[in-house]
Amino acid sequence: MKIRLLLLSLAVAFVPVSGLRAQDAKPAAPAVPAEKPETELEQTMGKMGKAWKQVRRAARDGKLTAATADLVATIRTNAEAATKLTPALEAEKPAADQAKFQADYVAQMKKLIEKLSTLEATLKAGDTATATKLVAEVGDLMKSGHKDFRKPEEHK
């Protein structure tokens, strides 16, 4: 019994030490990330993307509820902010085409915002079947928006 206790206290005493050693052995993280700095639009889209993943998952798992409307509101608010920004691809267009490119981008974003507002109301009303269809339609607007306005090498 005494030996067991002794072994136990020895084990407890060594845990933190070995923990520390494991940490010391970790390779240092690179000081500068390899990625290029994000544009403001990428940051805004990134926030939309996080909330969208959860909405899509809820739709796939048949778990759309009134609470999902809050996530949709997050996507909508960021889409509204995105409307005031300019896709990086625009700078690669001839100067004469840029105003139309921006107007088309804003128009597509407005379609998205309208669809998201309808989805929010539908979720709050508890109409899950319609909400599931609307989630798919939001996905289609995202895909065509990315096809037309995002730099090709950024498509993931």
What residues line the site for ligand HEM (CB under 6 A)? 38-39, 41-42, 45-46, 48-49, 52, 75, 87-89, 105, 108-109, 112, 138, 141-142, 145-146, 149-150, 154
The residue number whose beta carbon is nearest to ligand HEM equals 145
> Rounded to the nearest whole angstrom, what is the least distance from the CB of residue 61 to ligand HEM in the complex?
18
CB 131 within 8 A of CB 116: no
Shortest spacing between CB 108 and ligand HEM, in angstroms: 4
Of the candidates 140, 153, 139, the one whose C-alpha atom is nearest the C-alpha of residue 49 is 139
Cβ closest to ligand HEM, residue 24 vs residue 104: 104
Tokens of 88: 């990086």
* Token pair listed for 156: 């993931």
Residue 118: exposure state from Cβ atoms within 10 A (0-12, 13-18, ≥19): middle
Query: Smaller CB distance to ligand HEM: residue 24 or 35?
Result: 35
User: Which token pair is 9?
Assistant: 């206290």
Instruction: Give the nearest distance from C-beta 34 to ligand HEM in angstroms.
Output: 14
